[in-house]
Amino acid sequence: MRRYITRQLLQLVVVVFGISVLAFAILHVLGDPVLLLLPQNAGKEEFERYRHLLGLDRPLYVQYWKFVSRAVLGDFGKSWYADTPAFALVIERMPPTIYLTFAGLVVALLISLPLGILAALKRHSWLDTLCTAVAVAGQAAPLFWLGIMMIIVFSVRLRLLPASGYGTWQNFLMPAFCLGAALAPITMRLVRSGVIEVLNMEFIKTARAKGLAEPTVVIKHAFRNVCIPVVTVLGLQFGQLLGGAIITETVFAWPGVATLTVEAIRNQDFPVVQCAVILLALLIVAVNLVVDVIVGLIDPRIHAA
Amino acid sequence: MATTAPTKVELAGLGEARVEMPGGGQATLRRLLRLRWGLGAAGILLLIVAAAALAPWIAPHDPLAVNIRHRLAPPAWMDGGSAENVLGTDQVGRDLLSRMIYGGRVSLVAGVVAVLMSATIGVLLGLGAGYFSGRIDWTIMTLVNVMLTFPFVLLALAVIAVLGPSLVNMIIVLGVAGWPIYARTVRAETLAIREREFVLAGRALGMSHLRIVFRQIVPNLVSVIVVIATLQVAQVIVLESFLSFLGLGIQPPTPAWGNMLGEGRVYMLNSWWIATFPGLAIFLTTLVINLMGNALRDWLDPHLKL
């Protein structure tokens, strides 16, 4: 187990390094911060002065080192727009994003677990066919459109739920359902195929042969084994889930990191963009690591490999 | 074996051990059925593509013609709607149907071009990683891991922020960022094919690496690549629409499904149709591409795990 975690941690370091290079390169190689910072009619000397002031006339690796050594301490520079540290701005917006992601995950599981198991148990029935059809359609529906349709139906027409905002449980319903609905199809299909696979295994036949009741077989013997692929996939999907949360946030004006990032992009506020990108990526990496470890704990076969 | 029902279809999602059952009745039937769905989907897709390609001839109005007096007109079947604008008009009185027909052009072109770009990059890197292995493999796969950790949306947003929003920049971003999925699959397949006898024979005959890779390995990968690329077109169209929806992709007044949806969102309180129909177009296109991709996978290679 220890070797397994060490190896994962090592890989994590490499991935984090890669992400920092990527985030640095996006601003410093693709674009020129000074060009973005100064008004277009600024003189040539002005540009040079700023370039020197910000240390942009030094070699890239020096700049990168400076960027990273500060970033490690949580210093991503001040926001060019709001005159507060970028890190503080992003951290402040982190909780809503995490709550939304978590709520979306819960909704996805509430939809996909029962439906996936039922579809697997009643294979080739009308329920199974219906679930598959809905899943195929659900995978194709663009998340942001789904969100807008929900707002039109539930906020504008029926006046049941608030279209945007944050704080009460009513505010949570639509965004969470929207995000959950996006993740549910793939999870449901995985649960379904997982359950089918497990039900065909020898130990299930043994359990049935022993004369155990069908619910006991399904819940105690099959379900636990289905958890392994489901947890793995949910972990790997976390990046996608967070990506979905970003889309959901912009639709419902949710005060999370994504809304902040889009605002920052509109204002060309790069320290904030950089900081948000890196922190979100770190979050994903951390979750992936935790999932790896959990899966390793549930299924000892995995790190034997 | 005789007692278990054909399990090929179900196992395709997860199983490590896949059971090959030639002529297994029910599974074949299901495959044929899915193939029919795929053909139907391909037909609809063809219609969408034709509509986009022939837009100047079939669109009832100029997509950019502003008509303030008929602004926010509802679809024909609603009160106040007219047959003149079947799907209604937007906030400055432009015909929604015409804009949707034209909007498909941008979305489809962006999707296909971006996918061609990312497929080229991904296949080349995947071949390199799988064929040469060792340090090259490690470097490329680390890069793949970094890219896959990053949510695609976030990366696209960050790059667009620096490059500025435009159609070309967006296609570049989507094209450059989409390669890891090809690289990963191609690498895995290459690793397996590399060990086959015919590659060994090629080596023994003194074939160069390049010749082995492109004459012996690549032909065996075509079906995998085609299937991924098809499914990716749908993904890219959705992403393109999202970027345009945020105002970071295709810029108005050029009609694109995404920016129409974005504009319609402002008016959703009274005029639901402006946001609804472009979204339906994205939904339908994505759906038929996915159906086609799945059928293609079953047809070309039923064992493919994607």
Q: How many CA atoms lie within 13 A of B74 on its CB side?
A: 9
Residues of chain A contacting B111 with CB distance shorter than 8 Å: none
A265: burial class by Cβ within 10 Å (0-12, 13-18, 19+)?
A: buried
pLDDT at residue A236 in the model: 67
Which residue in A has a C-alpha nearest to residue B294's C-alpha? A136
Q: How many CB atoms lie within 10 A of CB B15?
A: 17
Q: Who among B14, B145, B261 is closest to A197 (CB)?
A: B14
Q: Kindly report the nearest CA distance between residue B72 and chain A, in angstroms.
A: 16
Q: Which residue has the higher pLDDT, A26 or A145?
A: A145
Mean pLDDT of B156-172: 83
> Can you name the residues that pair with A85 across neighbouring β-strands?
A78
Residues of chain B contacting A182 with CB distance shorter than 8 Å: none
Identify the sign of the CA torsion A177, A179, A180, A184: positive
Tell how far CA A73 is from the center of its chain: 24
Q: How many helices (H) and strands (E) does chain A have?
A: 14, 0
Answer whether A149 sits within 8 Å of B276, measured CB to CB: yes
Cis peptide before A215 (omega within 30 of 0): no
Answer whether A197 sits within 8 Å of B246, measured CB to CB: no
Structure-block tokens of residue A254: 């949710």
pLDDT at residue B306 in the model: 47
Q: Is residue B25's pLDDT more than 60?
A: no
Residues of chain B contacting A197 with CB distance shorter than 8 Å: 10-11, 14-15
pLDDT at residue B72 in the model: 77
Q: Kindly report the nearest CA distance between residue A15 and chain B, in angstroms.
A: 5
Kindly report which listed range (A160-164, B6-10, B25-29) carries the lowest average pLDDT score.
B6-10
| B177 neighbors B144 (Cβ within 8 angstroms) | no
pLDDT at residue B8 in the model: 39
Per-residue pLDDT tens over the stretch B96-149: 888 999 989 888 999 999 999 999 999 999 999 988 878 888 888 888 887 877
Mean pLDDT of A60-88: 83
Q: Is residue B4's pLDDT more than 50?
A: no
Alpha helices by DSSP H, listed for B59-196, are 96-132, 134-149, 152-163, 167-177, 180-194
Does the interface ipTM go beyond 0.95?
no
Cα B67 to Cα A8, B80, B95, B267, B272, distances in angstroms: 61, 16, 9, 17, 19
Q: Who among B7, B146, B160 is closest to A22 (CB)?
A: B146
Answer whether B160 sits within 8 Å of A265, measured CB to CB: yes
What percent of chain B lies above the pLDDT cut of 90? 17
Please give the Cα distance from B35 to B90 (Å, whole number): 39
Please give the Cα distance from A177 to A171 (Å, whole number): 11
* Phi, psi of B9, deg, nearest 5: -60, -45
pLDDT at residue B304 in the model: 54
Which residue in A has a C-alpha nearest to residue B146's C-alpha? A15
Which residue in A has a C-alpha nearest to residue B6's C-alpha? A200
Q: Who among A140, A240, A277 is closest to B158 (CB)?
A: A277
Per-residue pLDDT tens over the stretch B33-50: 777 888 888 999 999 999
Q: Is residue A296's pLDDT more than 80?
A: no
Which residues are CB-contacts of B52 (< 8 A; sequence separation ≥ 6)? B101, B102, B104, B105, B108
* Phi, psi of B89, deg, nearest 5: -125, 165
What percent of chain A lies above the pLDDT cut of 90? 4
Q: Who among B15, B238, B269 is closest to A142 (CB)?
A: B238
Residues of chain A contacting B241 with CB distance shorter than 8 Å: 142, 144
Please give the Cα distance from A198 to A221 (Å, whole number): 9
